[in-house]
Chain A
Amino acid sequence: MYRYDEFDSDFVRDRVKRFRRQIERRISGALTEDEFKPLRLQNGLYLQLHAYMLRVAVPYGTLNGRQMRQLAMIADRWDRGYGHFTTRQNIQFNWPKLRDTADILDALADVEMHAIQTSGNCIRNVTADHFAGAAADEIEDPRPTAELLRQWSTNHPEFAFLPRKFKIAVTGSPNDRAVTKAHDIGLRMVRDGDGAPGYEVIIGGGLGRTPMVGKVIRPFLAKQELLAYIEAILRVYNLYGRRDNKYKARIKILVHETGLDKIRAEVEQEFSTIVRSTAGSALPDLQEIARIESYFAPPAFENTDGDVVDIVGAGDKEFLAWTRHNLAEHKQPGYTIVTVSLKAIGAIPGDASSDQMRVMADLAERYGHDEIRISHEQNVVLPHVRKRDLPAIFAELKRVDLATANIGLISDIIACPGMDYCSLATARSIPIAQDIARHFADSTYAETIGEMKIKISGCINACGHHHVAHIGILGLDRKGVENYQITLGGDHTENFAIGERAGPGFSAEEVVPAIERLIQAYLELREGPDETFLTAYRRLGQEPFKQALFPNIQPARAA
Chain B
Amino acid sequence: MPIVTETGFQTEPNLSFRGVEALAENCKNLTLDVDPDTEVDVLSDAFSRIDLIRVHFDSFADGRGFSLGRRLRNAGYRGRLRAAGHLISDQFRYALECGFDDVEISDALATRQPEHHWIADAPARPTYREKLSDVSARLPEAQHAADRARSALRPVSLYKPLANVHEQVVTQVTHYTDGLFSFRISRPSTFRFRSGEFVMIGLPNAERPVFRAYSLAGPSWDDELEFYSIKVPDGPLTQHLQRVEVGDTVLVKKKATGTLVMDALLSGKRLFLFSTGTGIAPFTSIIRDPETYEKFEQVVLTQTCRTQAELEFGLNVVAETRGHELLGDIAGPDKLVHFTTLTRDDHPHTGRITTLLKDGHLFDAIGMAPIDAEQDRAMLCGSMDMLRDTGAICEQFGLVEGSNSRPGTYVVERAFVD
Residue numbers of A with Cβ under 8 A of B are 5-7, 10-11, 14, 18, 21-22, 25, 29-31, 35, 38-39, 121, 148, 151-152, 154-162, 224, 227, 235, 238-239, 243, 273-274, 277-285, 287-288, 290, 294
Contacts of A160 in B (CB 8 A): 63, 91, 94
10 nearest A-B residue pairs (beta carbon): A161-B63, A280-B236, A157-B97, A157-B94, A279-B206, A277-B74, A158-B66, A151-B128, A238-B67, A284-B132
How many A-B contacts are there with CB distance less than 8 Å? 138
- Assuming the contacts A11-B125, A14-B125, A285-B135, asked whether A278 and B62 have C-beta atoms less than 8 A apart, the reply is no
Cα–Cα, bound, A154→B132 (Å): 12
Please tell me if B266 contacts chain A, counting CB pairs below 8 Å.
no
Contacts of A152 in B (CB 8 A): 128-129, 132
Contacts of A287 in B (CB 8 A): 135, 213, 415, 417
* Contact of B88 with A279 in the complex, beta carbons under 8 Å: no
Contacts of A280 in B (CB 8 A): 210, 236-237, 239
Cα–Cα, bound, A318→B95 (Å): 60
Please tell me if B355 contacts chain A, counting CB pairs below 8 Å.
no
- Assuming the contacts A29-B112, A35-B88, A290-B384, asked whether A239 and B67 have C-beta atoms less than 8 A apart, the reply is yes
Q: Which residue of A lies closest to B90 (CB)?
A: A39
Please tell me if B29 contacts chain A, counting CB pairs below 8 Å.
no
- Assuming the contacts A35-B88, A155-B127, asked whether A278 and B206 have C-beta atoms less than 8 A apart, the reply is yes
Chain B window 120-141, contacts with chain A (Cβ cutoff 8 Å), 1 for yes, 0 for no: 1100111111011111011010
* Contact of B63 with A158 in the complex, beta carbons under 8 Å: yes
Please tell me if B64 contacts chain A, counting CB pairs below 8 Å.
yes
Please tell me if B322 contacts chain A, counting CB pairs below 8 Å.
no
* Contact of B384 with A5 in the complex, beta carbons under 8 Å: no
Cα–Cα, bound, A121→B415 (Å): 36
**Residue of A5, A14, A121 touching B61 (CB-CB under 8 A):** A121
Expressed in whole angstroms, the minimum distance between the Cβ of B129 and any Cβ of chain A is: 6
Chain B window 45-83, contacts with chain A (Cβ cutoff 8 Å), 1 for yes, 0 for no: 000000000000000111110111011011110000000
Q: Which residue of B lies closest to A161 (CB)?
A: B63
- Assuming the contacts A158-B94, A161-B60, asked whether A278 and B208 have C-beta atoms less than 8 A apart, the reply is yes
Show 22 residue pairs from A and B whose CB-CB distance is below 8 angstroms, ordered by the A residue. A7-B138, A25-B117, A35-B60, A39-B90, A121-B61, A151-B132, A152-B132, A154-B128, A157-B97, A235-B70, A239-B71, A277-B157, A280-B210, A281-B209, A282-B133, A283-B133, A285-B135, A287-B135, A288-B135, A290-B384, A290-B417, A294-B384
- Assuming the contacts A11-B125, A31-B88, A277-B75, asked whether A158 and B137 have C-beta atoms less than 8 A apart, the reply is no
- Assuming the contacts A239-B37, A277-B74, asked whether A151 and B131 have C-beta atoms less than 8 A apart, the reply is yes
Expressed in whole angstroms, the minimum distance between the Cβ of A286 and any Cβ of chain B is: 8
Cα–Cα, bound, A439→B68 (Å): 56
**Residue of A18, A39, A238, A243 touching B66 (CB-CB under 8 A):** A238
Expressed in whole angstroms, the minimum distance between the Cβ of A538 and any Cβ of chain B is: 43
Residues of B89-119 at the interface with A, using a CB-CB cut-off of 8 Å, are 90-91, 93-98, 112-114, 117
Q: Which residue of B lies closest to A224 (CB)?
A: B234
Q: Which residue of A lies closest to B96 (CB)?
A: A157
Chain B window 240-260, contacts with chain A (Cβ cutoff 8 Å), 1 for yes, 0 for no: 100000000000000000000
Expressed in whole angstroms, the minimum distance between the Cβ of B406 and any Cβ of chain A is: 16
Cα–Cα, bound, A283→B91 (Å): 25
* Contact of A238 with B133 in the complex, beta carbons under 8 Å: no
Contacts of A157 in B (CB 8 A): 66, 93-98, 127
* Contact of A227 with B132 in the complex, beta carbons under 8 Å: yes
Contacts of B140 in A (CB 8 A): 6
- Assuming the contacts A157-B98, A285-B135, asked whether A235 and B71 have C-beta atoms less than 8 A apart, the reply is yes
Range of interface residues on B (Cβ < 8 Å): 35 or more
- Assuming the contacts A22-B90, A238-B64, A285-B133, asked whether A279 and B205 have C-beta atoms less than 8 A apart, the reply is yes
Contacts of A281 in B (CB 8 A): 133-134, 206, 208-210, 236
Interface centre among B63, B112, B124, B125 (most CB of A within 10 A): B63
* Contact of B120 with A21 in the complex, beta carbons under 8 Å: yes
- Assuming the contacts A5-B138, A277-B157, A279-B205, asked whether A11 and B64 have C-beta atoms less than 8 A apart, the reply is no
* Contact of A10 with B125 in the complex, beta carbons under 8 Å: yes
* Contact of B133 with A159 in the complex, beta carbons under 8 Å: no
Cα–Cα, bound, A343→B237 (Å): 53
Expressed in whole angstroms, the minimum distance between the Cβ of B401 and any Cβ of chain A is: 16
Contacts of B237 in A (CB 8 A): 280
Q: Which residue of B lies closest to A289 (CB)?
A: B132
Known: A161-B61, A239-B71. 12 other contacts (CB 8 A): A6-B140, A157-B94, A159-B66, A160-B94, A238-B67, A239-B64, A273-B75, A279-B205, A281-B208, A281-B210, A281-B236, A282-B133
Q: Which residue of B lies closest to A277 (CB)?
A: B74
* Contact of A38 with B61 in the complex, beta carbons under 8 Å: yes
Please tell me if B207 contacts chain A, counting CB pairs below 8 Å.
yes
- Assuming the contacts A162-B63, A278-B206, asked whether A7 and B129 have C-beta atoms less than 8 A apart, the reply is no
- Assuming the contacts A160-B94, A227-B132, asked whether A30 and B37 have C-beta atoms less than 8 A apart, the reply is no
Q: Which residue of B lies closest to A227 (CB)?
A: B132
Cα–Cα, bound, A161→B208 (Å): 24
Contacts of B73 in A (CB 8 A): 277
Contacts of B93 in A (CB 8 A): 157
Q: Which residue of A lies closest to B117 (CB)?
A: A30
* Contact of A158 with B67 in the complex, beta carbons under 8 Å: yes
**Residue of B74, B131, B239 touching A278 (CB-CB under 8 A):** B74
* Contact of B137 with A7 in the complex, beta carbons under 8 Å: yes
Contacts of B90 in A (CB 8 A): 18, 22, 39
* Contact of B417 with A155 in the complex, beta carbons under 8 Å: no
Expressed in whole angstroms, the minimum distance between the Cβ of A14 and any Cβ of chain B is: 7
Expressed in whole angstroms, the minimum distance between the Cβ of B247 and any Cβ of chain A is: 21
Contacts of A277 in B (CB 8 A): 73-76, 157
Contacts of A14 in B (CB 8 A): 124-125
**Residue of A6, A31, A148, A243 touching B132 (CB-CB under 8 A):** A148
* Contact of B66 with A161 in the complex, beta carbons under 8 Å: yes
Interface centre among B74, B128, B135, B239 (most CB of A within 10 A): B128
Cα–Cα, bound, A281→B137 (Å): 14
Cα–Cα, bound, A281→B132 (Å): 9
Expressed in whole angstroms, the minimum distance between the Cβ of A159 and any Cβ of chain B is: 7
Contacts of A283 in B (CB 8 A): 133, 236
Q: Which residue of B lies closest to A151 (CB)?
A: B128
